[in-house]
Each structure stands twice: as structure tokens, then as C-alpha cells.
Structure 1
Amino acid sequence: MKVLVTGGYGFIGSHVAERFHKEGYEVFIIDNLSSGKIKNVNFKHRGYRLSVEDPKCEEIFRSNRFDAIVHLAAQVNVATSMENPRQDTKSNVLGLVNMLSLGSKYRAKKFIFASSAAVYGSGTETPLEETAPCEPISPYGMSKWVGETYCRKWGELYGLETVCFRFSNVYGPRQNSVGEGGVISIFADRVLAGDDLYIYGTGEQTRDFIYVEDVADAIYRASYSPLTGVYNLSTQTESSVNMLVKLLHNLHGTPAEVIYQEPRAGDIDRSVLCNAKIKKDLDWSPMYGLRQGLEKTYDWFKQNHPTSRELTHQASNSTRLHNLFTKIKPYLENLLAFTLMAILTLTRWDLSYSFIDIKMFYITIIGIVYGNRQAIMAVALSVGLLIYQRLTDGHELISMLYDTDFFFQIGMYLCIGLVVGYAVERKNDKIRSQHTEIKEIEEKYEFLNEVYQEAREVKNELQQRIMNSGDSFGKIHAITKELDSLEPEEIFTSTVNVIESIMDTKAVSIYIVSGNGAYLRLAGHSKAIGEEAAKSLKVEDHEYISRIFLEGHVFVNRELAPGIPLMAAPVHRHGETVAIIALDELPFEKFSLYYQNLFKITVELVSSALSRAFSYVEATESLRYVEDTPILTHEVFETIRKNKQAAREQHNIGYTLLTPGGEVASLRDYSLEIKALLRETDYIGLGEAGKLLILLSNTGPDDVARVLERFSNRNISLRILEEEVEAVYG
């Protein structure tokens, strides 16, 4: 089973991913790490650093068919949504639509969306039920409300099962101070740091705090349930901010100073969500009260708080210094080059080479190395140096305004600086553009190569499992070779062996559907079942049989209802159910989805074998029967008789041979009259020396007595074949 968790490196996402991993799922994560941290997930998984709206996400869906998608990736800060609603919409709406589209396109079985209590706005009637009006007061709340609509419509339009959970204030380990419910993490952080606690308002405002592991539990259970629609996910318990502070003080031991400030605009006095609906529909309830959840949260913050703060501060300072040095480095090098050039110029080093102007070389070199901006700076510095030289040589500043040579030099400096700087800047822009393209191509290649390598790993792992598994395709192929027959009776006998071997059970039954579809006739069963197997079943008396006929799928008795098989599957031919195979016993560890699929595949192989055999029987019908009668020829009848003998020896399935009690005037009329009274599993044929025989399948002494009585009532005299008496009754 595979699950995709978007935002899986975040606070809630990491707990959800961890829960699925513990339940044996293969976990895949998409996260752009805008707020999540890779260190939050320390178990084996496959992670992709992508935004959920990125088109490259399709490569992940194409390579991995997910059973469930848990969409937690979002912009979760209400204040940020007010300041930048465009970014909020991009993350929370476009990203959701991309995930929904890919989920439906690649046939995910379940899509779970993380909504929020923010959709209710400032609703005052508490506890708020799912039917309460939604009046969001922030772009964040609006985007979540719109997301619920998308999920509902995707279910209607594309058949994707969706569940939307409106979270109350979630708290727990790994939470930061950003987003809803951050008050607990903020307070824990400040208490451990010895800082003051700021409370906006009186502190009597209430919130509905839910521990993150309770959220993960509800999401996991919803992933395999038939649950759809919108549900509140909360504790339905009001806790004041003052109570929260008191509990934290009790945990920490040293009270922090509490400073009350003016209430913030838009703050809600009371917030609590009703959870009656999810309790009833999912049979879920929160396991952690606020006190127990705070203890676990505080312990985590205590272990992680000091180290993480120090490392973050050091990394931040180091990054700032590096960025600052990178920015000022070109200016420093430009000034250093100018200083060297000025020294050479002012010491009159170039007098013997008066035709050489070092300043032009300086401008050209700086333009080539750094581009347009530094070239203009070099021109300005060179012009300043030129003016200084003129003044030291005795020229007056006013006279320079009339000196054409002076303006010519300035023009040359400016021309060289602009031409060289522009040409180099254009070249650099082109190089940067090419580097960007190359980087994008490399990232795409790296991403596709990662997906390819993962696909190879999965393939190799599956191949290894197949080679080592007791239920490998090689074993199944070897076992199902028994089904290579063109005689239906032989296939029925072989099917019992095949199912017993593959499913590791000794309680297999095969029933053939009667001509009118009203009854099932027993065609074969395991030896262990013996006389317990019903010889005939009326379809309308058994709900599970009716469901199999209606749905055409494998039936699984998940409620373990008595008197009903644990599993049953239809055998199809030309789209119609012609037989049903039932398992009455199965080892507990094999009562799973894997063995359900294994049973389904095996029954499909049986269906293929029977379809081939029935087609052969139809094609050779004129050769199987005595002309114009329902009597099987001696060769065909002997084949069926030998199969019945094999079934009796292997599975203790009895049969009886009858023969007419007197002379038969018309073989055709006599056989037609008998055929009308026989079941679909019984046969009429010719024995040795052309003797007419009737073969009754699955019959014991009591059954034979009733059959003989029924024929006698129709004035048809039959008797048990003498040489079969000892073989049949022992």
C-alpha cells in the first residue's frame, strides 16, 4: 500500500507520515521545505522537494500508483494570507487542484484534504457543527472553504473519494510558532527561554486544542474507510489561554511573568468545534486530553529548544555575513585596482610612454571583469583622477571647461566604459541565462533520474520478493498447470487442488449455477468438508450470493458472520457468472487484502480454463452425444467417470451409477424423460457394451434413495449398478 503525504516534512505532515509508516505503508512525501524540515522524518521513505503546484509532480504520480493521498501542504499563516493573498491562493488553491487532478487521473482510492476551523469565521454559536454557515474573514479561510468545494465537486465529477477535515487548534512536538494553534509552541518556547508571556486580552478567550497524534490517527483511519464529505476534527473541549499558561507553569516549575495587552482586532472570544459526526461515522475519539498532550509537547521542546535556537542563530549570522561580503567584493576590488592605477599615474611612471593612458586600460579591464556597473564606477574614478592631475599641473578648473582635449579624454573614457561594460554585461546575461537553463535541465534530469532509480529499486525489490515468496508467480504457474484440460469435470477437480495449494486451506467448495440462475449445484469440495457441504443453494436465500451475482466481485466476510464463507468469488464466462468458488476456512494471517487479490487472480485463471473447456465442449457437441439424444458417447462418459473416481479418491466426493431396471423401448424418449429430472451436475451416457448409465454427482445413500423414489413416482425404474455398490458405499 502506498500513501502520498504533501507537506510531509511539516508539523502535522511528519506525524501523519510516521503513522502510515508504522502501519506498513510505503510513504512518499512532496514538500517544498518552506516551513517543513527533513529531519522531522527519520524513517525510510521517498521524498521530493517540490511545490504541490509544480507540473513535475505528475512524474511522481505516473511512477507510483497511490492508494491514498493526504494533502497537508499549504500556506498556513493567516497574517501572511492578508498581506499576500496571491501567494496564499497559489499554494492553497492551485496546489490542491493539481493534486486532485493527478489523484483522479492516476486512480487514487482516497483523497484527504486538511481544511480548517477558519472557514467558519467569527461564528458565535458553539460548539460549531459542520452545518454551521461558513463566513471566513481571511484569504486563508476562504482558500480552505474553496478547497472543500473542489474536493466535493471532484468526487461528483470524477468519482474520487474525498474527505475534508476541519482542524481545530492542533498542537504537539515539532510545531513552530507560525500558523494556527501556534500559541502553545510560542508559550513553550518562551517559558523555556525564561521570557515573558504576552496575552492579548483577558486570557479568558477559549480555544479547542487537539493533540497532533489524534489528528494523525483520524486521518489514517479515514484513509481505508468509506468516509466522505466534511468533518470537524477536534476534542470539543474549551480551554482558556489562562488555563494553558497555568498548565505550562506546572510543567516548567518556574512561573514566567504574564503581560496582558490590548486584544487584537479580529480575535475570537470562543472557539470550539463539535466532533459528534466524526465520532459516529468513523468510530473515532481523541485519546489525549490537554494535560497529557502538553506534557509530551513540553518534553519535546525541552529536549530540542536550546540547541535548535543556537544553531539557527549561528547559521543566520554566517549567511548574512557571506551575502554581505559577496555584494561588496566587486567594489573593493575595483577600488584596489584604481588605487594601483592612481599610484602608477601620479608617480609619472608613464612619462616615457606618453601615448599610453593607463586609465583606459583600467576602465577596459574593470568593464571586462565586472560589467557595466563597475565600468561606470571606473569611468567616474578615472575622470576624478584626470581632474586632480590637471589641477596639480597648474590648470584652473574654469579653463578645463574650454579645453577640448579634456572633454575628448572624458568622452573616450565614457565610450570605452559603456561599450565594454555593455558588451560584457550582455555576454554575462547570456551566460547567466544559459546557466539557468542548464541548471533547470540538470534539475529535471536529476529529478527524472531519481524517479527512474526509485522505479528500478521497486522493480528489483518486487522481483526479489517474487523469487523468494512462497506465493510467487512461478509457484502459481506450476500449480495452475493442473487446469490445462478441456474437460469441465476435470477442471472442477483440479480447481479444488489449486485453490487449496495457493490459499493454504482445506475448505474449498465449487458450485455450478443452474440453467435458470436460481440455484447453485455443488460440483466439488475439499476432502475435509465431507458431508457438511450443501448439495444445493437457493440464490435468493443467501444475500452474499446475490451480491456476487450483482457486483461480480470477490466477496469477503469481514464481519466473520457465521454460516457464510470467509471468501467467495464468481467464475465468469462471456460476462455471466457460471460458477462460484467459496473458502470456508483460512489462516488468520492470510485473511488480508493481499490474499484477497491472490484469490481473485487464481479464480480468474480458473475462469479462463473453464471458458476454454466449455468452448471446446460446444464445438465438439456433435461428437460427444449419441445423435439426437442427451446421451454421452462411451468415450466421453468414461472420461467423466474417471474424473469422478479421482475426485472421490482425492476429496471424498461420492457419486453413484444407475442403470435402467428393465428393457428400454425407445432410447431417445427414455433419455429425454430422465434428463428432465436430473441436475446440471448429473450425466447420462453409454457404458460397456452400450449399456445405458446415469451418473449422479455428490450423492450418498440417502440421496440415492430419494432419487430412486422420485423416478419411481414417474414410473421410471432404475437400480444401482451392481459393480459400483462396493466402490460407492465402501
Structure 2
Amino acid sequence: MRTLLVGNTGYITNKFVEEAFPESLVMVMGDTNIRKNRKKNLFVRPFVKNEKELEDIFSTYDFEQIIYFSNYLTFHGETRGEAEMLRKILQLCREKRNMRIVYLTGPERLYDVPTGKTLLVSEMENLCREYAKLYKITVKIIRSPYLYSEQYEKDFLNTVFREISAEQKITFQEDESQRMFFMSMQDLAELMYKIFDNWDEDEEILNIADGFDHCFKDLGGKLTELCPHLKVSYARYSIMENMLKDDKIIRYKYGWFPKISILEELPELYEHYQERNNIKEGRLDSLKHIISKHKAAVRAAEFAAFFILFELLNGIAGNQAQFKMIDLRLIFVVLFGSTYGINYGIAAAVAESLSLIRAFETEGSSWYVLFYEPSNWIPFIFYFAVGAICGYIRMKNKDNVQFIKEENNLLQEKFLFTREMYQETIEDKNLYKKQILGSKDSFGKIFDITRKLDVIQPQELYIETIRVLEDVLENKTFGLYTLNRENGYGRLETASAQVQGNYPNSIKLSEYSAAMEELENGNVWANREFLENYPMYMAGVRKNGELVMLICIQQASREQMSLYFLNLFKILSGLVETSLLRALEYQKAVEYRQYVKGTHILKTEYFEERLKVQHDMREQKLASYVLLKVEYSEMSLKEADEILRSKVRENDVWGISESKELYLMLVQTDKEALPNILARLKQAGLVCRQIDEELTGNNRTGENK
């Protein structure tokens, strides 16, 4: 699945993505602290405001499911731009009928007291429902308690921690008895997994109720435990907002309820916040932090300090010859105008004008003489002109630098996006090439399967069938049964090495009535109800409309209980059926050449061939057998054949050597069952003894030649 997480994404963590979407390609689009991890199919990028570029991203990734994190999930957060961003996302989903969309919003609609936010949230929900009806897409609306995070700067909890670290006091806007509604991201990840895992096409509004009954007094008390010197205060007059009663739909439908309280996680979150922000910093770092936090005050102090310094220099050095040609007041104006911009340039001009007026008064000239004599205006005009010009140049250069930085960042983003698309295109090209050449369901693979199954010996076909099924379906628990509908039994021909001994040698077809109707109709039966003593899958091979073989899969993983796997198994069973029927037709055509005339005794060369195949199957741990030498001195060969036909199974084989010695091969028989078989044959007049198992097929039948 390809998943898009968009909107108020600052709460998303790597752990949330891994738990909520363990098998998905995930893109997080928005403000977030997580980083891209291509190995884990995790991609991160800022939200794209350009609709054409956003459309290109949707077209490239072809998302199948989307979660929109509303701004209303942040307690006391900003809500601007929500409607426009949500509209853009819904607009791009209009042509995708199978798209899964979840709009995750805050709890305002669950309050029993209407507020301004309640009306705004209602409009957002109506927008989702209208788009769903208009474009036939499925949107589920989830009203969640507020989220919290110590690392998301816009979050309420992060703001609380900052105020504690800076001022050792905190003032809540709520009354101490007011209830608070917060939910852990870990609980949310579990809920998202269950919702998408049990997705249906019904439009729903799901309400996540508060399950902990905490108030802000509890939060303040917990913070005081973490910081003993903290001073906590509350607003005296706040509207009590209580959540409506729990409808318990989520609990019953998805088996989920919140388990983690914010108060339980608070100590760990505060510790992480301190580690991340390096609270135990040095004096120099503290000074830098104070300066960066109070820039305006620091600049005002610099202005005052430098003004005093220049006044002292002007008083000390003003009468010296080398400073007669230098106007220190003009230098002060140029300095602050060039450094801090036009506002400080004008302020410096004002300060130095007052300083010049004071200097004239010290020399005995009154201020009205300065005012009425135009020639005295020249230095004042220069101060203001220089301050304004230097400030303007500074401001213009700053704007140019900022513009170039923004343009550079935009170009860099486009370059990174283009490079990412290029890399993914190359990866997709290589992936599709491998799939075309080696995919288990490609035309090339199907041709290879057909070639492997093109054998005329049924026993050899059993070996190739097991190999092909194990390779293509990536399962090692296959079993093949040949059926005799007259006696209602199936005989095990071969099974995967991994499950040798787990399949019974014989099965009674009446015990599999739950599957037989489906198999008779030519379909694959899947054990979706997990019936006891049934394999997970069964497929039939039919001849002239009648079942002659069963292909079973004893065990299957969760991924293999899918429609794709079932269809692939059905296709392969059809290929096996075609090859088996061809082999049986060939065997029937040459049957007269294989058997001694008037009997079911295989001639020497055909029995040796069958024995060699069976021996290969045992070497590969696909089957077992026992080879017996039959003594029939007191009866004819035909009489011995009649006894064997009545006393052994239809898939057992017997043949004769060139020296007229009779051999019996008991297929899928072990040493535990052998004494009963020998006793039954002896009672019928046939004395049998087991041949050395280490001999090859040729040596066994030819040992007495």
C-alpha cells in the first residue's frame, strides 16, 4: 500500500509510521522532524502549495490511502489554511474510486458547549462528506482527543516545557477543575492499523471518547513533581467543556480503546525534551540564548552604549587637529543605519541632532538662532539623509539576500524532488525488468512451468509438480493424492520434504465434505474458517468431469490467504491438470506394451523405470516406498497377480525380472505398516521378503539374473 500522511504532521514519528503502516510505502507531507528512509519506504517532503506540483506527486506515487491530520488536533493551535489545504487533497482524490481517506480532527464537535471552533470543525467535516458524495470516494471522519508531543514546536505540551525551562512558572488558560482530553500517538498508531486492516466502504464518523477523566489540576500537580520550584496558576473563569458520552462504536467494531495516559508519559517526555534542547547548557550558550530571545532589547542597549561612547570620543577628541575633518556624529549615523536598517538610521540621526543642538548651546548659540539660520540646517539634513540612505541600502540588500535564499531553497527543493523522481524511476525500471524476466506469474515463467511439466511419466510429473508449486507459490507444504471414487479413498503419491510424515498415506473423501462440492465445481477451496484436520488449500484435477487427484497445501502464511494467491494456485493447478491428463492418456495408449499379457504385472524395463523414479523421489524426501521380493512357487504368475490386485492398494506396483522373479513396490509405506502387509500376503499364499534398501533400482530387479 502507498500511504500519504498530510496536514498537521508535526506529531508523526518513525515509531508511529512503523506501527501503523508496517508494510506500506509512506510519504509524510508537511512540517515534521522525521527524516527520509528509503530502505524503509519512508519519504518526507514539505507541503507543496503549487497545485500542479502536488498533482505530479499524486500521479507519481498513486496513493491508495490518505490520513489528513487536522490543525484542530493541536490544543490552542493555529487553524488558518485548513480548508484550502484539505480541499486540494480531496480534489486530487476525485478520480480514484478505491481511495481510502481518513480525516483525523480534534474533539471540538464532541463538546456539549458550542464554540467558534465547533462551527469551523463542522464545516471541515461537511466539506469531506460533500466531496465523498460528489466523487464517490470513501471518507471516514475520526474525532480524536488532542495529540501531544514534546518535540513538535507548535504543540501545547512543547510550549509548556519551554515556559517551564525559561521562567519556572506556567499559567493555564483553563480552570483547574476543567477536564483535559489528550491521546498518545502510540494508541493512535494501533487504531489506524486496525481501521485500515478492517476497511470497509461505508462512510463513518468515529468518536474517540476520553477514557482517563483527568483535569488540568492533575497536569499541574504532575508538572510540580517534575519541577519542585515550578509555580502553576490557572484561569479563574473558564467555560467548562465536557465531552459527550462514549458511543463505544470503536470499542466494539475494532476492539480498541486508549491505554496510555498523558500523565503516565509526562516524566519521559520531559526528560526527552531536556535532552533534545540541551537544557544543561554552559554560560556562553545561555548568554547566546538570552541574546537571541531579546534581540530588540539588546539592540537598544547597543544603541545607547555606542551613543554614549561616541559622545565621550567627540568631547575628548573634538578639539584635536586630526579630528577636525572627521564628524564622529555622522559616523555613528552611518554605522547604525548600515548595520540595522532605516529605522535605526533615522533614530541615530535624531540622537545626533539633539547632540549637535546641545553642542551649539554649549558654545552660546540658542536653538532659535539655529532654526532661523538656514545654513545651520545643513548638518541636520545630512544626518537624516545619510541615515535614511544607509538604512534603505541595508534594507534593500537584506531583502535581496532573503529573496535569493528563498529562490535557492525553492530550486534546491525542485532539484531534490526531480532527483528523487529520477532515482525512483530507475529503481522502478530495474524492478519491472526483473518482474518481466523472472516474476513467478510472468509469461516467461509460465512458459518455463509448461516446459517442466511436459513429461509423460506420471510419477516424474509428481516430482516436477511439487518443485514447480514450491518455487512459484513459495510454500513448502504440498501434498498430492490420487483418488479412487469407487472406494472413496485417496492415496498419497508425494509430498514436500518439509511435511513428510504429516500427510496421512490414505484419506477418506467423505471426511472432507466441506471442500468436495467446491472441488467438484472446478474451484480451489480455501480453509478460511480454519476447520480442524483440513489443509489450508485444496485444488482438484479432473478427468472427464470426475476428480482423479487432489493438490493440497497444508499450511499458509497470512500473506498467502489472499485472492491473488488463490488465483495463482488455481492457474498452476490447471497447468498440472493439463499435463497429468496428457501423461495418463499416453500411459493408457502404451498400456498394452507395459504389462505382461493378461495381467497387471509390469515388464522388466517398465518396472525398473518406475522403481528408479520412486527411488529418486525418496532421495529427494518427496515420497517413501518398500521393495519386496514375492515367492509364488506353488501358483502361476496370473494367480499371484490376482492375489496382489485384491490385497494391495491401487497405487502399489509390481513387476517381473528377466529371470521371472516377481517384485512388489509398496508406495508411501513405512516400516511400521510393513508387518501387517506381509502377514496379509502370507495368509493369501504369497511369501514376501524385503529387499536391501540401499540397492538402486537396476540392481534390485536384476540381482538374480
Same-fold call, TM cutoff 0.5: yes
Count how many residue pairs are aligned between Structure 1 and Structure 2.
Answer: 544
1:72 to 56, 61, 69: 69
Secondary structure, in 3 states, of the residue corresponding to 1:29? Answer: strand
Contact persistence 2:26–2:43 (CA under 8 A): yes
Equivalent position amino acid for 1:174 in 2? Q
Question: Counterpart in 2 of 1:118?
Answer: 108
Q: Which one of 247, 252, 255 corresponds to residue 222 of structure 2?
A: 247
SS at 2:509 equivalent: strand
Q: How far 1:101 moved relative to its partner?
A: 4.7
Structure-2 residue corresponding to 1:297: 269
CA contact (8 A) 1:165 1:233 kept: yes
Kindly state the Cα deviation for residue 508 of structure 1 after the two structures are TM-superposed.
Answer: 2.4
Inter-CA distance 205–576: structure 2 relative to 1 (3 Å threshold) = farther
Partner in structure 1 of residue 358 of structure 2: none
| Cα RMSD (Å) | 6.7
User: Structure 1 residue 189 and structure 2 residue 162: aligned?
Assistant: yes
Letter in 2 for 1:233: I
Written as runs of structure 1 = structure 2, the 5 A alignment for 1:20-35 is 20=20, 23=22, 25=23, 27-33=25-31
Cα deviation digits, residues 97-154 of structure 1 (max 9, x gap): 534755x4xx66x654424333335369xxxxxxxxx998322333135436766998
CA drift at 1:187: 3.0
Partner of 1:174: 151
**Aligned counterpart for 1:144 among listed residues 104, 125, 141:** 125
Q: Which of the numbers 408, 421, 425 marks the counterpart of 1:451?
A: 421
Output one character per residue of 1:404-437: Cα deviation in whole Å (capped at 9) or x when no partner.
xxxxxxxxxxxxxxxxxxxxxxxxxxxx9xx99x
Measured against aligned partners, the alpha-carbon deviations of 1:276-307 in whole angstroms (never above 9, x if no partner) come to 44334333343322321222332233334577
Q: Report how far residue 202 of structure 1 moved.
A: 3.1
Return the alpha-carbon distance in structure 1 between the equivalents of residues 544 and 294 of structure 2. 70
SS state of the match for residue 535, structure 2? coil
What is the aligned partner in structure 2 of residue 670 from structure 1?
Answer: none
Tell me the equivalent position of 2:86. 92
In structure 2, what residue type is equivalent to 1:31?
M
Match of 1:606 in 2: 572
Percent identity, aligned pairs only, is 14
What corresponds to 1:11 in structure 2?
Answer: 11
Q: Which residue of structure 2 lines up, in the alignment, with residue 584 of structure 1?
A: 554
Asked whether the equivalents of residues 465 and 576 of structure 2 are also in contact (C-alpha less than 8 Å), the reply is no
> Would you say the 8 A contact 2:111–2:242 is kept in 1?
no
Distance in 1 (alpha carbons) for counterparts of 2:522 and 2:188? 35
Which one-letter code corresponds to 1:142 in the other structure?
Answer: E
| Alpha-carbon distance between aligned partners in 2 of 1:317 and 1:552, rounded to the nearest angstrom | 77
Alpha-carbon distance in 2 for matches of 1:197, 1:142: 34
**Following superposition of structure 1 onto structure 2, how do residues 435-514 of structure 1 map, counting pairs within 5 Å?**
447-457=417-427, 482-485=452-455, 490-499=460-469, 507-511=477-481
Alignment-mate amino acid for residue 83 of structure 2? T
Aligned letter for 1:541?
A: S
C-alpha contact 2:105 2:144 (8 A) present in aligned 1: yes
- Equivalent pair of 1:32/1:49 in contact (CA under 8 Å): yes
CA distance in 1, matches of 2:70, 2:456: 57
1:535 aligns with 2:503: no
Task: Give me the whole-angstrom Cα distance separating, in 2, the residues matched to 1:554 and 1:49.
Answer: 48
Distance (Å, rounded) in 1 between the aligned partners of 2:506 and 2:52:
58
Q: Distance in 2 between matches of 1:193 and 1:439?
A: 32
Q: Tell me what 1:344 maps to.
A: none
Q: CA deviation at 1:453?
A: 0.8
Distance 1:698 1:50, change over 3 A: farther
How many angstroms apart in 1 are the aligned matches of 2:415 and 2:535? 52
CA distance in 2, matches of 1:253, 1:439: 45
Q: In 1, Cα distance between the equivalents of 2:544 and 2:109?
A: 52
Structure 1: 5+ residue stretches without partners: 125-133, 333-387, 389-431, 665-673, 689-694, 704-719
- Normalised to the residue count of structure 2, the TM-score between the two structures is 0.56
DSSP 3-state at the match of 2:104: strand
Aligned equivalents of 2:459 and 2:8: distance in 1? 55
Q: Are the counterparts in 1 of residues 483 and 547 from structure 2 also a CA contact under 8 Å?
A: yes
Change (3 A) 1:616 1:297: same
SS at match of 1:138: helix
- Cα pair distance change 1:74/1:575, threshold 3 Å: farther
In structure 2, list runs of 5 or more residues that go unmatched.
280-284, 300-336, 346-373, 375-402, 618-622, 631-636, 658-663, 674-683, 694-699, 701-705
Distance (whole Å) between structure 2 residues aligned to residue 510 and residue 312 of structure 1: 79
Tell me what 1:593 maps to.
559
One-letter identity of the residue aligned with 1:212: M
How many Å apart are 1:501 and its aligned residue?
6.7
Displacement of 1:205 in angstroms is 1.8
CA drift of 1:533 comes to 4.0
Do the aligned residues in 1 keep the contact of 2:3 with 2:63 (CA within 8 Å)? yes
- Compared with structure 1, are the counterparts of its residues 62 and 563 closer, same or farther at alpha carbon in structure 2 (3 Å cutoff)? farther
Partner of 1:238: 213
Instruction: Give the conservation status (yes or no) of the 8 Å contact 2:70–2:103.
Output: no
The equivalences for 1:227-626 within 5 A come to: 229-263=204-238, 267-271=239-243, 274=246, 276-304=248-276, 314=292, 447-457=417-427, 482-485=452-455, 490-499=460-469, 507-511=477-481, 521-522=490-491, 524-526=493-495, 528-529=500-501, 532-538=504-510, 541-542=513-514, 555=526, 562-566=532-536, 580-584=550-554, 591=557, 593=559, 603=569, 606-607=572-573, 609-613=575-579, 616=582
Report the Cα distance in structure 2 between the residues aligned to 1:175 and 1:606, rounded to whole angstroms. Answer: 53
CA displacement, residues 377-413 of structure 1 (integer Å, 9 cap, x when unaligned): xxxxxxxxxxx9xxxxxxxxxxxxxxxxxxxxxxxxx
Q: Contact (CA 8 Å) 2:438, 2:444: kept in 1 or not?
A: no
Give CA-to-partner distance per residue, 1:3-44, whole Å, 9 cap, x none. 4433485214665225357x4x454324143xx345699996
SS in 2 for 1:535: strand
- Separation of aligned partners in 2, 1:652 and 1:600: 29
**Aligned mates of 1:147, 1:575 — CA distance in 2:** 53
- 88 and 524 in structure 1: CA distance in 2 versus 1, 3 angstrom threshold: same
For 2:470 and 2:458, the matched residues in 1 are separated by: 18
In structure 1, the partner of 2:196 is 223
C-alpha distance 327-569 of structure 1, shift in aligned 2 (>3 A): farther
